[in-house]
Homo-oligomer: A and B are copies of this chain.
Amino acid sequence: MSSKEKILGTAIVLFAQKGYSGLSMRQLAQAVDLSVAAIYHHFPDKNALYLEAVRFAFSDKEQVFAQVWESGCSAEEKLGGFIRSLIDVMLQDRDFHRLMQREIQEADPERMQLLAQGVFNRQFCFLLQLVTELAPEQDAHLVATSVIGLAKYYIECQPLLKNFPGWKSEHERPEVIAAHITNLVINSLKVKTA
A interface with B by C-beta (< 8 Å):
18-22, 98, 101-102, 104-105, 107, 109, 112-113, 115-117, 120-121, 124-125, 128, 139-146, 148-150, 152-154, 156-157, 159-168, 171, 180-181, 183-185, 187-188, 190-191, 193
Extra contacts besides A115-B163, A149-B152, A149-B157 (12): CB < 8 Å:
A21-B21, A105-B105, A112-B163, A116-B163, A128-B166, A141-B168, A142-B180, A144-B164, A145-B153, A145-B154, A145-B161, A149-B154
* Structural contact, A187 and B193, CB atoms closer than 8 A: yes
Chain A interface mostly: helix
Sampled A-B contacts (24; CB under 8 Å): A18-B21, A19-B22, A21-B21, A21-B22, A101-B105, A104-B156, A104-B160, A105-B156, A116-B160, A124-B165, A139-B180, A141-B164, A141-B165, A144-B166, A145-B154, A145-B164, A146-B180, A148-B153, A149-B149, A149-B150, A185-B188, A187-B187, A187-B188, A188-B191
* Structural contact, B19 and A165, CB atoms closer than 8 A: no
Question: Closest Cβ of chain B: how far from A119's Cβ, in Å?
Answer: 10
* Structural contact, B163 and A113, CB atoms closer than 8 A: yes
Q: Which residues of B contact A149 (CB under 8 A)?
A: 149-150, 152-154, 157
Q: Kindly report which residue of chain B lies nearest to residue A131, judged by CB atoms.
A: B166
